[in-house]
Homo-oligomer: A and B are copies of this chain.
Amino acid sequence: MAQYTFRTRSSDCPYELAIGLVSGRWKPRLLEVLKDETLRYGDLKERLKPVSDKVLSAALDDMTRNGLISRTAFAEIPPRVEYALTPQGESLLEALGPLRDWARTENGR
């Protein structure tokens, strides 16, 4: 567990702190695809393809520990695990909106 921590010491700078939470190749996308849907591990892997298991599970782990994502495991066979945004994850995604818009207008996409 806890393989990855923040690169930044997420010191006393709020910018750094928030950016640290979504710094990573797949984290912003994870927030996005989970916006309106609860998804299973396999679904996530499918939508973020090509992502490796290690990196995906590490990102999910980080974000779950950081309270952005909820993880629900069902004791069934075959196993089923569902991921969803927490309220904090949702509000973070919203706070990311202006940044996305900035990128779109400034970089023409």
Interface positions of A (Cβ within 8 A of B): 7-9, 12-19, 22-23, 25, 28-29, 31-32, 88, 91-92, 94-104, 106-107, 109
Contact = CB atoms under 8 A, between A and B. Distances in A.
Contact of A29 (B13, B22, B23): B13
Given A91-B106, A99-B95, A102-B92, A28 B12 contact: no
Query: For the complex formed by this chain, how many copies does it contain in all?
Result: 2
Given A29-B13, A104-B14, A109-B14, A19 B88 contact: no
B16 A19 contact: no
Contacts of A16: 25, 28-29
Nearest to A94: B98
A6 to B, nearest CB: 10
A102 B109 CA distance: 26
Contact of A103 (B17, B94, B98, B104): B17
Given A96-B99, A98-B97, A99-B95, A107 B17 contact: yes
